Amino acid sequence: MPLVYSSYRAPSMFLSRHIETIYPVLFRKITNITYQRERLELKDGDFLDLDWIKKGAKKLLILSHGLEGDTSSNYLKGMARAASNAGYDVLAWNYRGCSGEINRNFRFYHSGESADLHLVIQEIFSKMTYESIGLVGFSIGGNITLKYLGEQQNNLFPFIKAAVTFSVPCDLKAGATHMAGRQSKFYMNRFLHNLHKKVLAKSIQFPDLINDKDFYKIKNFIDFDERYTAPIHGFKDANDYYTKCSSVNYLSGIKIPTLLVNALNDPFLTEKCFPFEQAKSNSCLFLETPEHGGHCGFYEYHKNGNYWSDNRTLAFFEQYL
């Protein structure tokens, strides 16, 4: 599918990639939303916390958050509110260790954790009351969603009809290399601060398996993934992890209508995260690259509090669900 024309136009005060990225995190206010939490116990002894908004609808949206986010992240709550108001049931799921309580097992989550998304979908299938389901993913949640769709190309549950993703680091190695640059130091320090907390929590649980000695030497995702993510989750090294978990390597297998929206000014992404050629060769993959939007930003004023990304998602699902 050729490049999709984007209708998004950032307000004049938001023409900075950093303002577009940071403003929604600090100043967006999401009200009138209450989740009902369900704990999904897993066969490996761990758990996933699922947050629902149920109104008895026949259509469901499953929302996946970004790195070190959770279901309380503004972009996720905004989407959940918009979808609920539009008549959908909503399931926003927290990755292992992201729900406010550290998970039980030694492992936690990573940027290609499609197996846990599959467990969530299997649970829904076991109690199936929905006619159709759509998947929504932000940042690494988008990477997980796209990877999952490509992996399951011949085995996807038939009730999953379409997907929408935003701000996706499709090429994890390229994204990690870009984030190691000086221009990303502010964001990188924030991520590492939160990831350090995860390491400390795990070192209390499993003192013989993990520690934070010399953590200050870790300066970027490549360092962190080499020391922690890869060995903890069974990869040879960071490069092996990036290769096996980058959704760009699975896009050709996507067989349901899927929208990928990556802003050209996203401060987290680099050229390899814009899969133009893959989109041209796959009639199910719609690639939209607005000039502005930042990372998970896409601010646009609406009286109902929706952002452009919320309305774009609903419009896409209205067409395909």
Write down the pLDDT at residue 253. 97
Is-catalytic flag, 266?
A: yes
Domain map of the chain by residue range?
A: 12-171+247-320, 173-245
Q: What percent of the chain has pLDDT over 70?
A: 99
Q: Is the pLDDT of residue 20 over 90?
A: yes
Is-catalytic flag, 196?
A: no
Q: What percent of the chain has pLDDT over 90?
A: 92
Using a cut of 0.95, tell me whether the model's pTM lies above it.
yes
Q: Which of 73, 295, 309, 310 is catalytic?
A: 295
Write down the pLDDT at residue 1. 56
Residue range 6-13: mean pLDDT, rounded: 90
CA distances from 90 to 62, 65, 125 (A): 6, 13, 15
Q: Which of 99, 266, 292, 310 is catalytic?
A: 266
Q: Which of 6, 99, 139, 167 is catalytic?
A: 139
Rounded CA gap, 252 and 283, in Å?
10
Which amino acid makes up residue 25? V
**Whether the Cβ atoms of residue 98 and residue 69 lie closer than 8 Å to each other:** yes
User: Where in the chain does DSSP place strands (E)?
Assistant: 36-41, 47-53, 59-64, 89-93, 132-138, 160-166, 258-261, 285-288
Angle ∠(138,142,147) on CA atoms, nearest 5 = 165
Q: Which helix (H) or strand (E) holds 311?
A: helix 308-320
Q: Is the pLDDT of residue 67 over 80?
A: yes
In the sheet with 160-166, reading across from the earlier edge strand, the strands are: 36-41, 47-53, 89-93, 59-64, 132-138, 160-166, 258-261, 285-288
pLDDT by residue (tens digit) across 207-239?
999 999 999 999 999 999 999 999 999 999 999
pLDDT by residue (tens digit) across 158-209?
999 999 999 999 999 999 999 999 999 999 999 999 999 999 999 999 999 9
Q: Is the pLDDT of residue 244 over 70?
A: yes
Q: Which residues face 49 on adjacent strands?
A: 39
Residue range 141-148: mean pLDDT, rounded: 98
CATH number of 12-171+247-320, picked from 3.40.50.300, 3.40.50.1820, 3.20.140.10, 3.40.50.720: 3.40.50.1820
Q: CB under 8 Å to 79, separation ≥6 — which residues?
A: 61, 63, 136, 138, 309, 310, 313
Residue range 94-104: mean pLDDT, rounded: 97
Write down the pLDDT at residue 196. 98
Record the tokens describing residue 230, joined without a space: 């890869």
